[in-house]
Amino acid sequence: MHMLLSELAAQPPASCKLLISRRQYQTCHIRVPDLEQHLSAIQAGAEFYSFYKVFPDPKKLINVVCKLAYHGDRMALTRSPKGYTLWVQEPEAKPLLERPPNLSEEPVYCKILPLQAEFYPCMVQIPKRGPCLALQINRQFYRFFKLEKDFEGVLNVAGRLSRQGSETLIVTAHGILDKVAQYLDPALLDGLKEGYVVCLREDGAQLISSC
């Protein structure tokens, strides 16, 4: 089923589990109902995720994550020698080999904004911080935190902030930076038009003005 552009625009940011350390998951094989063959999978905590696809291109990965989330799937993302591997949760999965997970790090989550989603750049007032550049999405404010040229850097930043308890949002810079360039240091924008923005949700933010 193809998503209409209007459906995608109304879609909230997709949530994805970031498994950026091997201490957060382990590989396994699973069986799922109505399927005879077993599936390659990973286990993160008590949850199992079947292999979906390897994506060399982060932009295509983001598009697929958002489409799957729209249809109710829950996903996890790991690094791969050829890019990034996407896994889809299998709630009814049973492992072929029962073994307790030997994991020393908890998984973290981030949100990813669909490429064609509706958003509103704005300036907000944040307690104890002052005026900040932000995106308003579905009546929530996400403060600009950092610009990154590559997706690998974005995952590192988002993973670190999520472990510290922040709700992070990954946004592709294309189509956004042009609207807010006057509020940013030009030196920061060099080579970032095709990069990414890491944003943090700010529940106490108050709207000052639209950009």
pLDDT at residue 1, as a whole number = 39
For every residue of 51-100, DSSP letters joined together read: EEEEES-HHHHHHHHHHHHHTT--EEEEEETTEEEEEEE-TT-EESS---
Residues 105 and 185 both lie in one domain: no
Low-confidence ranges of the chain (pLDDT < 50): 1-9
Residues 57 and 142 both lie in one domain: no
Residues 104 and 157 both lie in one domain: no
Mean pLDDT of the chain: 89
Q: Which of 111, 135, 162 is the last residue of a domain?
A: 111
How many domains is the chain partitioned into structurally? 2
Q: Which residue carries 């949530």 as its tokens?
A: 15
pLDDT at residue 156, as a whole number = 94
CA 202, CA 1: separation in Å to the nearest integer?
35
**Judging by beta carbons within 10 Å of its beta carbon (0-12, 13-18, 19+), is residue 105 exposed, middle or buried?**
middle
pLDDT at residue 188, as a whole number = 67
Residues 25 and 75 both lie in one domain: yes
Residues 38 and 80 both lie in one domain: yes
Q: Which of 57, 85, 111 is the last residue of a domain?
A: 111
Residues 149 and 184 both lie in one domain: yes
Residues 83 and 39 both lie in one domain: yes
CA 63, CA 11: separation in Å to the nearest integer?
12
Q: Which of 55, 88, 111 is the last residue of a domain?
A: 111
Residues 132 and 198 both lie in one domain: yes
Residues 107 and 126 both lie in one domain: no
Q: Which residue carries 């080579």 as its tokens?
A: 191
Q: What one-letter code names the amino acid at 22?
A: R
Residues 146 and 175 both lie in one domain: yes
Residues 103 and 142 both lie in one domain: no
Q: Which residues pair with 175 in a beta bridge?
A: none
The continuous run of DSSP H or E covering 178 comes out as: helix 177-180
Selection from 149, 119, 124 nearest residue 134 by Cα:
124
pLDDT at residue 32, as a whole number = 95
CA atoms within 13 A on the CB side of 136: 15
Residues 79 and 14 both lie in one domain: yes
- Residues spanned by the domain of 189: 119-210
